[in-house]
Structure formats: structure tokens, C-alpha cells
Amino acid sequence: MFRRLADLLLRLRTWLAVRLGLWRGQWRRGRVSVSGAHWLPGPFGVHTWRYGLYSPAGLGDDEAAPLLLVLHGCRQRALGFAFAAGLTRVADRARLRLLCPQQRRLANPWRCWNWFTPAAQRGEGELRLVRALLDEVAARVRVQGVAAVGLSAGGGLAALLAFHLADRFRAVVVVAAPPLLGGHNLQDPRDVMKHGLRLPPVTALPVAQRACAPLAIVHGTADEVVNPGCAEQLQAQAIASLKRERLEVEAEQRTPADGTSVTDYRSAGLLRLRRIEVAGLGHQWSGGPGGHPYCVPGGAPLAELCAQFLRDAGLVAGRAAGEDPQAG
């Protein structure tokens, strides 16, 4: 009973933060339209998505700053997830902007990003929306490098960005994400989530696949929605893509004191891949303020792990993620 009441209070706090604009920085709302969106139902072929653009206090539009694309999971709202996951805190500390698109209910009744469609797996589908979003924001503010982070279905779409739009992303973080399926979807995506790919993971890579963007794969060992083995398969796909460009990687494993196991893969000294296993974590984002579906306040600090990877990949610099606890 007490736990349920505490969860309700956290959700109320998150709702008030979004509704009343209780932020240190500034949110601006926008819309972007994609024409010829044939992967969606509709009579006109033009569909519009809403997005929020968060800028830390004092960061002007003419000041260059990194941009972090935030892709929420199913049954989540874009701004609520950004707050509950602690990503607005990361933005304030690292002086980066957040781009948070909201999935349309007409595109998916559970507001999931449609990572599983054959079009998306081929680099089209909702990846066209991401291209349009990046172009839209670049026309409004000065962007100095782009990264992406996604949870669950958002992680599935973010993983596709790492492979298909590697030229536009300097770093990608996926949490509880499935591996690539391939452009023909020979296996039911729900079965992939439950059991992993039945075929060797490398067979899902496009023939002309080049090296993926620097990628961090985060997965909980107790995830019952997306099998933890999916992280290993996505890792195999990433390493295979690097080898196609003759980028040999060396593994270095460490075990911090926060209940995670971290393995880095570097090539010529550059960080190309990071695998993070979180002991006991289910299908959720942990360590932020919480108060949103699939976001819990306790456990491993995933937002800080995300920020650390962005620094290690060379996208952002500055204060440590754990400083300034009043930010948010």
C-alpha cells in the first residue's frame, strides 16, 4: 500500500513538472511533418508529429551545443520520460539540448516507435521522421554534434539510427533494446523480443552495412520483456559492422561498484562500443527521479551512465554526471 502511494505521488510530481513547466531550462514545442509516409495508415500521405526541444538556462539559439535525441518507450510520453529518467538533469549539467519527439497514437496505439517494420529495418520508415526532425531543429538552433538515447521500442529505433544513420550520429545509447531484424523480418518481432534471433545475428545486417556509430548497449539481467540475450546479439551485429571496415576492436572489462558490468571495445584507442549489464534490473529505466511508466527512482543511475558514454565518445565535456544534485 505504501509503495503504491509513493508511486502515485511520484507520478503526480512528474505530471506537475510537465504541466507547470518546473524546469531550470526552457521547453519549446514544435511539429514536423513527413510527406509520403506510406508506412502509416492515412488518406493523404502526410503525417505530423509533435516534439519538445529542451535548452538549459542561458543557452541561446546561436550558441552551438550538442543535441541528444530522446526516444521514449511504449506507453510513455516524451517530456515525462525525459524528466523521470533524469535526462533534463544531464542536459543542464552537460549544456546540451534535448530533442524529444512524441509518437502519434495513430501511428501506434501504444505509442511505441515502429522499429520492427520492414521499412524501418531497411533504414526508411520512422527513420525518415528522424531525418526531418534533425533538419527542423538545425534550422532553429546551432547544433554541435548529435547523439541519441532510447528505451525499449525507442531503443529499437535508436539502434537502427546507429547502423543506418551513422554519418549523422556521433553516439547512440540503447536501453533494453532488441537487435536488428533485417529488412525482410523472417521472424516475428515479438518472438525476437522474447527469445532473441533464431538465425545468426550477422545475417540481419544489410549487405552493404558500414561501421555503426559509437554505440552503448544497456540491458538488465532481469528483463522479462526483452530477453537479455538480445543485448549480446546486438553487440555481435555492431562488432560485425566494424569488422566490415577492418576496424578490429579490443575488449576491456571492468566492474564498477554500482552493480553494473561494463565492457568497452576500442579500435585504435577510440571507443566504438560499450556493453553495460545491470544486475537485477527489469524492463525499466532506473536511477532518475521516476514517476513515469517504466521509470524507477532507485537502482543503477542510467542517466549518469548515458552521460558518461557521451563524454567518453567525445560528444560532450564538462562536469561529472553526479555533480549539482539540485539540477533538473
Positive or negative, the Cα torsion across 129, 235, 215, 290? positive
Report the candidate in 266, 280, 289, 197 with the shortest Cα–Cα distance to residue 234. 197
Q: Collect all residues with Cβ–Cβ distance below 8 Å to 49 and sequence separation of at least 6.
A: 31, 32, 33, 34, 101, 102, 103, 104, 129, 133
pLDDT, greater one: 303 or 21:
303
pLDDT at 128: 95
Residue 287 Cα to chain centre, angstroms? 16
Residue 318 reports pLDDT greater than 90:
no
Nearest to 144 by CA among 63, 207, 203: 63
Task: Give dist(CA 180, CA 118) in Å, integer.
Answer: 11
Q: What is the CA 243 to chain-centroid distance, rounded?
A: 24
- Give the pLDDT confidence of 58-96 residue by residue, as tens digits: 999 999 999 999 999 999 999 999 999 999 999 999 999
Provide the 8-state DSSP code for 280.
Answer: T
Asked if residue 71 lies in contact with residue 157, where contact means CB atoms within 8 angstroms, the answer is: yes
Residue 20 clears pLDDT 80, i.e. is over it: no
Are residues 50 and 30 in contact, defined by beta-carbon separation less than 8 angstroms?
Answer: yes
* Of the candidates 298, 286, 290, the residue with the CA atom closest to the CA atom of residue 84: 290
Is a pLDDT exceeding 50 seen at residue 322? no
Report the pLDDT value the prediction gives residue 39, as an integer from 0 to 100.
56
pLDDT band at 31 (very low <50, low <70, confident <90, very high): very high
Place of cell 528505451: 151
Domains of the chain, first to last? 2-312 (3.40.50.1820)
Q: What is the mean pLDDT of the chain?
A: 91
CB of 112 closer than 8 Å to CB of 71 = no
**Spatial distance between the Cα atoms of 44 and 36, rounded to a whole number of angstroms:** 8
Distance CA 102, CA 116 (A): 18
For residue 83 the three cell numbers come to 524528466
Instruction: Decide if pLDDT at 41 tops 70.
Output: no
Statement: residue 234 has pLDDT above 70: yes
Q: 18 by DSSP, 3-state: which?
A: helix
**40 pLDDT above the threshold of 90:** no
Give residue 17's pLDDT band: very low, low, confident or very high (50, 70, 90): confident
Cell representation of residue 174? 540503447
Under the banding of pLDDT at 50, 70 and 90, the label for residue 1 is low
List, for residues 148-182, the tens digit of each pLDDT value. Answer: 999 999 999 999 999 999 999 999 999 999 999 99
DSSP state of 292: B
Q: How far apart are CA 147 and CA 178, in angstroms?
A: 19
Residue 55 predicted with pLDDT over 70: yes
CB 70 within 8 A of CB 130: no
Q: How far apart (Å, rounded) are the C-alpha atoms in residues 113 and 154?
A: 6
The upper half-sphere exposure of residue 247, i.e. CA atoms within 13 Å in the direction of its Cβ, equals 22
pLDDT at residue 320 is higher than 80: no
What values do phi and psi take at 27, rounded to 5?
-95, 135
Lowest mean pLDDT among 25-39, 207-221, 270-284: 25-39
Grid coordinates representing 249 are 576492436
Mean pLDDT in residue range 213-238: 98
Query: 235-268 pLDDT, tens per residue?
Result: 999 999 999 999 999 999 998 877 799 999 999 9
- DSSP readout, 246-262? T---EEEEE--TTSEEE
Which residue has better confidence, 3 or 125?
125
